[in-house]
Amino acid sequence: MSIYDFSILARNGERIPMENYRGKVLLIVNTATGCGFTPQYEDLQSLYDLHEKDGLEILDFPCNQFANQAPGSDEEIHTFCKGRFGITFPQFAKIDVLGENADPLFKYLSENTSFGGFKGAMGLVMNGVVKKMDKDFKNNGNVKWNFTKFLIDREGNIVARFEPTEPMKNVQKKVEEILG
């Protein structure tokens, strides 16, 4: 099984094969518009502006599973993100990343990575919040919250996972390392 064996759902309902992204460096992110981490859209757009020409694609998957922080329709979410943060990277249909209805791509990403731990002061808060939902959260690869990021190299290998509390400068450094 490879990341290229999956397809993803565009906002217009069309299935897009991940094969279309072969040869690109991918940052796959589950997002929300009403989250404390939502300002990361600004950093993601800056990263995209800087490295799209180098072969970086950021794939944005809104998800409403964490405290109902992405309640709008696909178009409402897209309009908000474009207007507030000027996003130009691909944004897909809203999905589930956990449970029986989890998108197969996110099941694959979760099953093939480990939870990296939350960082900093916000990490202490997140530990308490997430533990209420999943007592064993430190010992499984499930996505814990909005703005979890998966970095995929040009060959389709998962090379890093970043929890939402990971400083974006660390994400950028690893992206640039993989871009070469």
- Catalytic: which of 3, 25, 35, 143? 35
- What element of type H or E holds 98? none
**CB proximity list for 150: less than 8 A, separation 6 or greater:** 26, 27, 28, 29, 109, 113, 158, 160, 161, 162
Distances (CA, A) of 36 to 26, 67, 78, 92: 24, 11, 18, 21
35 is catalytic: yes
Side chain identity, residue 110 = S
Residue 79 and residue 112: Cα distance in Å, rounded? 33
List the one residue out of 111, 109, 127, 112 whose CA is nearest residue 164.
127
Distances (CA, A) of 61 to 12, 30, 51, 151: 14, 5, 20, 14
Number of other residues whose CB lies within 10 A of the CB of residue 108: 19
Residue 81 and residue 42: Cα distance in Å, rounded? 9
* Catalytic positions: 35
